[in-house]
């Protein structure tokens, strides 16, 4: 049984930082592209960042490029999202998910390509 569990969300002031963690059990993490998405009330789920199976390649949404960093530790079956210089518009529920497709297929920004999702962790940035 595959489980994806996010943690690390919370309330932070604008300009602050948070580090989200994602723990995956029930599958070998090194076999999957991993991604972070977010969703705020009334909006569609939005791509945030993705990382290739080995961690050698990453991809970010324009809105977070230069402020967020995605990383992974395949030995520990974990993925992290370091979020710096947070803005009120970053407020959302953040989700971690696994993507069985290889990086070269360029599906990492498409939420439909992801098969297992966590329950999400709330990030609130106050102005």
pLDDT confidence band for 5 (50 / 70 / 90) = very high
52-75, pLDDT tens digit by residue?
Answer: 999 999 999 999 999 999 999 999
Average pLDDT over the chain, rounded to whole?
96
φ, ψ for residue 101 (rounded to 5)?
A: -85, 145
Which candidate, 46, 71, 44, places its Cα nearest to that of 61?
Answer: 46
Please list, in sequence order, all residues whose beta carbon lies within 8 angstroms of the beta carbon of residue 116, skipping any fewer than 6 positions away: 2, 4, 24, 27, 97, 98
């Amino acid at each position: 049984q595959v489980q994806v569990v996010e943690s690390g969300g919370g309330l932070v002031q604008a300009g602050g930082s948070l580090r989200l963690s994602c723990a995956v059990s029930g599958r070998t993490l090194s076999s999957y592209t991993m991604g972070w998405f977010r969703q705020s009330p009334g909006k569609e789920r939005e791509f945030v960042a993705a990382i290739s199976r080995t961690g050698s390649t990453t991809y970010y949404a324009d809105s977070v490029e230069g402020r967020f960093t995605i990383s992974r530790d395949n030995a520990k079956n974990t993925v992290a999202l370091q979020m710096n210089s947070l803005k009120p518009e970053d407020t959302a529920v953040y989700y971690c998910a696994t993507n069985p497709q290889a990086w070269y297929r360029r599906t990492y920004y498409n939420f439909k390509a992801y098969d297992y999702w966590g329950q999400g962790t709330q990030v609130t940035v106050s102005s």
